[in-house]
Amino acid sequence: MNGRVARVAVVLVVLSLIAAACSKPKKQAKTSSGPTTTNLNQLVTPTSLAPATTAVTTPGGKPKATAKGGTTGATAATSPAAPVGDQAQALRVGLKVFPVTTQRRQPYYLGVGDKTIKLVFSTDKAVCGVNALTALQAAGGALPSGDRFTRPFPTTSDQVEADSREAISFVVKYFNEHGFDTAKYLPHIRPLMGNDPANQIFGRHFEFQMIDGGSFQCPDKTTAAAKEAAETDKAFSVFTNLLDADVGYNMASALSAEPSSARPLMFGTEWLPDSIYNRFAPFVWTPWATGSTVVSQWATYVCTKLRGQNASRSPDATLKLQKRVFGLVHPNLKEVNDLAAEFKTDLTRACGGTNPVVKEISYSPDIKAAQTDATNAVVQLKAAGVTSVLRLTDLLFPLFYDIAAQAQGYNPEWIDSSFGLMDVSAIQRIYPKLETAGDFGVSNLGIPGWASPAASRTPPETRSTSTTRTTWFRRRTASPATRRATPA
C-alpha cells in the first residue's frame, strides 16, 4: 500500500470516526422523534454504568480514584498496552471526555444507518486539466523510488487511482476492525460503542465509495461531485485528496450550497484562514492546524529567530554573509491571498510594527504557465535583493521555482511552513538538491516521519516551545552536523 496515501487516509478516517459518534447535531436531537425502541447491537445505556468514582490503573502505578462528573463502566479503566507514548497521560485526558448524547435518535443524520456510516472519497480519476504528475516528471522532479517500507511513487494516473483505492480500502477495513481499540483511552465513550465485533463504531461500521471530483483545475467538476455525494450518494462525510489543497476548498464551497439538514460533513481542506472555516462551520474540518494558526506561528518564528541576522542557511557563500532580506511567494487564489494578507499582518505585529517582506509575488496557478512565471519571479526576487524566500505555496510550483533559480545562479534560503505539505521530507526530496540545501522552516505536524526525520533528532533547545509542537525541520540529505544546528 502506498504509505503516503495511507497516512493521509488514516488521519481522515480518525476524524470521521470522532464526528460520527453522534448521529445528529445537538440542536436537531432536541426536535427528533425520540429514541429508538430497540437497543441495537447491545449498546450500553447510562443506566447500566457504574458510579462516578472509579479506580483507574496506570502502568507501574497504584489505582487512583477519578474525579466525579462521569462514569467509566462496571470495571476499572486500565491503560491499554501501546508501543510508545505516555499511556497514563492519554488515559487522564480520556477520562475528561464525556458523551453529548447516550441514545440513538431518529431520523439519523445523512449517511448514517442502523449499522452503517457512509463515506465518500473524491479523487481525480480521469485527470482533469493538466496532468500534474506528468508536469512534475517533465520538469525534472525526483519521484520517490520506494524502499522496504513503501512502494515506488506511481507514474501513471491509473496507478495513482489504484493505489488510492487500495489504501482507502485497507484503512477503512482497519478502523472497522479496531474501533474498540481506538476507545480504550475513553472509558466514558467505550460503553456506547457496543460489543458487536462487526460493528465497532458505536454499533456501526464504515462503508465507502469513490467519486471523480476532478482537480483544482476543474471547479465545475468538483461542484458536480459535491452534488452527487450529497443528493445521490447521501454521504455522511466527503474526503478530498490532501495533495490538492485547492480542490478541498472548492469541494467545501460546493457542499455549502446544499441544505444544512442534508449536507455531508467535509474533511480534506487544508490551511484555510479561520474566517473561511467559520463561514462553513460546523460542516468543514481540517486534519491540520488552520492556515491562520500556521502563518501566525510562522510570523513569530521569522521575527524572533530570523529577522536581523545573516542568511546563514543559504548555500551561496556571498548571500550567507548578508543580512536577511525577505520575499514572499504564493499562488493567486482568493483563499491563499486572504491567508497571505493575514500573514503580513502577523509579521507586522510580531516584528514590532514593520512588515519585513520587501517583495511579494502572487503567481498564477496555471500549470502550463508555471515555468515562465517562475523564471520571471526569480528575476524579480534577485533584483529586489531577496536573500530569504518565504514560500506560502503548494507542493508542485516550488519545483519550477527551484529549477529557475538554479538556472540563474540564485541560491537563497527557502523558508517553509506546514502550508502545502512543504515540511514533509518526501516532498522536499522531489526538488533539486542544490536549492533544497537552503530549505528550512517550521512544522505544525509534530510527528516524526512526516516532517523531515531531522526534526526528531534536533536537540530540544532548538525546537519551538509552541504548545502545538511546532518543530524545526531540515532537508533529509543535510549532513548530521547541519541537522543539529541551531535554526537561526
Q: What is the CATH number of domain 291-483?
A: 3.40.50.2300
CA atoms within 13 A on the CB side of 397: 27
Ramachandran region of residue 144, left (φ > 0), alpha (ψ -120 to 50) or beta?
beta
pLDDT value of position 459:
30
Q: Where are the alpha helices (DSSP H) in 312-413?
A: 334-350, 370-383, 397-407
CA angle 386, 353, 377 (to 5 degrees): 25
CB 1 within 8 A of CB 167: yes
- Taking the CB of residue 121, how many other CB atoms lie within 10 A of it? 26
Between CA 117 and CA 127, with CA 122 as vertex, the angle to 5 degrees is 160
User: What pLDDT does 432 receive?
Assistant: 78
Q: Alpha-carbon distance 463 to 459, whole Å?
A: 7
Where do we find the cell 443528493?
231
The domain ranges of the chain are 3-41+101-285, 291-483
| pLDDT tens-digit profile, the chain (488 residues) | 443 333 333 333 333 433 433 333 333 333 333 333 334 334 433 333 333 333 333 333 333 333 333 323 333 344 444 445 788 888 899 999 999 988 898 999 999 999 999 999 999 888 887 666 666 666 666 666 777 777 787 778 888 889 889 999 999 999 999 999 888 889 999 999 999 999 999 999 999 999 999 887 888 999 999 999 999 999 999 999 876 667 888 999 999 999 998 999 998 888 899 999 999 999 999 888 899 999 999 999 999 999 999 999 999 999 999 999 999 999 998 999 999 999 999 999 999 999 999 999 999 888 888 888 999 999 999 999 999 999 999 888 888 888 899 999 999 999 999 898 888 877 787 787 777 787 899 988 764 433 333 332 233 333 333 333 333 433 333 322 222 222 33
Pairing verdict, β 265-267 and 237-240: parallel
Element of type H or E holding 222: helix 219-227
The residues with which 239 forms a beta bridge, in sequence order, are 121, 267
CB 85 within 8 A of CB 93: no
Q: What is the pLDDT of residue 460?
A: 31
Grid coordinates belonging to 68: 466525579
Q: What are the angstrom distances between the C-alpha of 61 and each of 52, 55, 78, 87?
A: 21, 12, 11, 12
Q: Are strands 55-57 and 77-78 parallel, antiparallel or unpaired?
A: parallel
pTM for this prediction: 0.70
Helix, strand, coil % (nearest 5) of the chain? 40, 15, 45
